[in-house]
Amino acid sequence: MSISSKATASAILNRMIVLVGLMGAGKSTIGRRLAARLDVPFVDADDEVEQAAGCSIEDMFEVHGEAAFREGEKRVIGRLLDGPVGVLATGGGAFMNEETRDLVREKGISVWLRADLDVLVRRCARRDDRPLLKDGDMRETLEDLINRRYPVYGEANIVVDTGDKPHRTVVDRIMEELSAGGYLSANRTDASA
Ligand code: S3P
């Protein structure tokens, strides 16, 4: 059966899949769909940080500053990596932290959702609650982040181009890469037989 078929839902995941990439790359949307395909839980690090702090990321940046947000983000991701295996969507800056990267390398499988500038600008324009994109020209900011972050995101175990491809195609591609990289073990039917 093909890797993109329903049968892959029985694949066993041994490590957390950690989605990384810039704002607008589709980490949460793709993450949710990937988790459904694998039949594992989905967790969004930004949501968890907000829950732990009891306020929005926007307010956190404004009231406590970016450094405090980054500390919280690092702590929350560390905790989630020790939790039940599933798919974890991280905020765009999380993988830039060396300690977080080391933890992800040790405990997870990192997947970089790579998108080009035009795609990111278009998608980010749909929301206005991202603190890093509030001031200045969005395109320039994203271009600067691409220059600084893409070499680091490039350390991820798997790289998948998202572009304007349908979500299903991107999920198929990730599944293929997970399988080719030996990240999916025997299926549940086999394991329980
Ligand atoms: C950030 C990305 C955001 C959020 C915060 C900072 C970043 O998450 O964590 O605003 O530094 O790139 P998304 O990538 O999910 O938008």
Q: What is 126-167 written as a DSSP string?
A: T----GGGTSS-HHHHHHHHHHHHHHHHTTSSEEEE-TT--H
Q: What is the pLDDT of residues 90-132, one digit of tens each?
A: 999 999 999 999 999 999 999 999 999 999 999 999 999 999 9
pLDDT at 101: 98
Angle (CA) 97-110-153 rounded to 5° is 50
Q: What is the pLDDT of residues 35-49, one digit of tens each?
A: 999 999 999 999 999
Report which ligand 1 atom has the smallest distance to the Cα of 58.
10
- Most ligand 1 atoms within 8 A of CB, residue of 64, 130, 133, 149 to mutate: 130
What pTM, to 2 d.p., does this model score? 0.92
Q: Is 92 in the pocket of ligand 1 (CB under 6 A)?
A: yes
User: In the structure, what pLDDT confidence band is assigned to residue 164 with cuts at 50, 70 and 90?
Assistant: confident
User: In the structure, what pLDDT confidence band is assigned to residue 52 with cuts at 50, 70 and 90?
Assistant: very high
pLDDT at 9: 46
Kindly state which CATH superfamily the domain 12-180 is placed in: P-loop containing nucleotide triphosphate hydrolases (3.40.50.300)
